[in-house]
Chain A
Amino acid sequence: MKRRISDEQLVELVEAAIFVADKPLSRKQLKETVLLDINVSDKRLRDALDTLSEHYQTRGVKLVEVGTGYRFQACASLSPWLSNLWQEKAPKYSRATLETLALIAYRQPITRGEIEQVRGVTVSSNIIKSLLERQWIKVVGYKEVPGKPALYATTRQFLDYFSLNGLDMLPELPPQQGEKLDQMLDDPSVREPSE
């Protein structure tokens, strides 16, 4: 027999659970853990989360939904001051790492060879290894070509780290000047004069 609780109690419980959990909590996880023996419909849970989100609108922390679920995080506008709490600054990532990550994020699933094709250089094993260790990327399969290379894709933890709710929230891929290329090829005058 499942227990019943009031809407107010539900909001309190959900709030506390998200605050004390080590990781973001999804609605599914909430229902399977803290709400396991409590009678709560999906709609009521969503309403409770909406209530919480509204409640925190005017506070220093906000309820946000990221890749793996809900978490509270400090308002972005406060970051310049908050960052002084820590002596160590957040790590900087090399261009090689960021370019590799960008290719995996926008072109997933992608093989290492395909990444190298675009970047024009070998992708060092360390980069792939550290991205895997950070759990920002994972192997999602193997391409049906000779050598069966691994296909990489980004993870939900990657979304968490950049506070994104989904891949569609990534900044748009900068446009290529494709039309102009065709023009160039059609225009014989653009051809380099031979000496």
Chain B
Amino acid sequence: MSDQPAQQKLPLAFLHGEAVLEKPEDLYIPPDALEVILETFEGPLDLLLYLIKRHKLDILELPILSITQQYVQYVEMMQDMQLELAGEYLVMAALLAQIKSRLLLPVHEELEDEEDPRAELVRRLQEYEQFKKAAENLDQLPRVDREIFVARALMEDSEEPQMRLPDIEMAELLLALSDVMARAKTFEHHQISAEVLSTRERMAAILQFLSEQSEPVEFTRLFTLSEGRSGVVVTFIAMLELLKEQLINCLQVAPAVTPASAIYLSLKLQE
């Protein structure tokens, strides 16, 4: 064994002032390797993020040329394999090419205010990365039936009275049947008459009524019970229409107090 000091390896290159001793193994991804991970991407942004991380680069340094080359290679390979290529991937390829071409243009003095063409893409990548991480965090949260087990107790059922169903006589069964038949008869003939109550008309009536009031009106006051079921339904539909068209407000005062706290309607003030 010699005791001569180990020779210092010569750095291959300097990157950001740091010596690079080993050839980075992940500098380039052969297309056939991409084949394996084809399915694992959630879209073009995800693929771009992956390529950037493989380069051990910051999103902010978005190296358009090399990233575009790899990206296009990936897309071409997908086409060669005749895989159904999501349109979004092609849109991104076009965007990358566009950014690249804009970067090649000389910068005009008078256009200095112009944004770096990469800025928008960088922003989207950052935002996507943010939510990609948020999704991972969400996945880590304890969940019911995975980390959280809900405790439950059963009611003792011996206390419950056992129901014994009585035997039924044939006569009673027939009696019940005749009841049903009698009721069915009433449905035999229908008389169809023209709609007496128009929803539009009712909407106008409600608006008219509300505009005459200085304060919100209690929901039930808008119904005229003597009109029967169909009248109530038409009024209600008219209310829904007005709410949908944002012509009236519907509010409930302190719904926490009683289960059926009063509902109030008022006109929506026009600006």
Interface residues of A (CB under 8 A from B): 16, 19-20, 22, 28, 32, 61, 71-74, 76, 79, 82-83, 86, 89-90, 93, 95-96, 98-99, 101-103, 105-106, 118-122, 160-164, 170-171, 173-178, 180-181, 184-185, 190-192, 194-195
Contact status B92-A101, CB under 8 Å = no
Residues of chain A within 8 A of B103, CB atoms compared: 191-192, 194
Binding site for A on B (CB under 8 A): 42-46, 58-61, 63-65, 86, 88, 92, 103-104, 106-107, 115-116, 119, 122-124, 126-155, 256, 259
Q: How far is the CA of A195 from the CA of B104 in the complex (A)?
A: 8
B151 touches A161 (CB 8 A): no
| Distance of A25 Cα from B21 Cα, bound (Å) | 62
CA distance A139 to B256 in the complex (A): 23
Q: Do A162 and B141 have beta carbons less than 8 Å apart?
A: yes
Chain B interface mostly helix, strand, loop or mixed?
helix
Q: How far is the CB of A115 from chain B (nearest CB, A)?
A: 9
Q: List 17 A-B contacts (CB under 8 A).
A: A20-B152, A22-B152, A74-B148, A74-B149, A86-B145, A90-B145, A95-B135, A103-B131, A120-B46, A121-B43, A162-B141, A171-B140, A171-B141, A177-B60, A180-B60, A181-B122, A181-B126
- Known pairs A20-B155, A106-B131, A120-B45; list 7 more (Cβ under 8 Å): A71-B151, A73-B151, A98-B135, A99-B131, A118-B128, A119-B45, A122-B86
A83 to B142, CA, bound (A): 13
A82 to B128, CA, bound (A): 36
Which B residues are CB-close (under 8 A) to A105?
134, 138
Bound complex: CA of A106 vs CA of B46, how far in Å? Answer: 19
Q: Contacts A173-B130, A176-B126 given: A76-B64 contact, CB under 8 Å?
A: no
User: Chain A contacts of B42 at CB under 8 A?
Assistant: 95-96, 99, 119, 121
What is the CA–CA distance of A171 and B116 in the complex, to the nearest angstrom?
33
Indicate which residue in A76, A121, A195 contacts B88 across the interface (CB closer than 8 Å): A121
Are B152 and A99 touching (Cβ within 8 A)?
no
- Contact residue among B45, B116, B136, B142 (Cβ-Cβ distance under 8 Å from A162): B142
Asked whether B130 lies within 8 Å of A176 as measured between CB atoms, the reply is yes
Q: Is the CB of B131 within 8 A of A102?
A: yes
Q: How far is the CA of A16 from the CA of B63 in the complex (A)?
A: 63
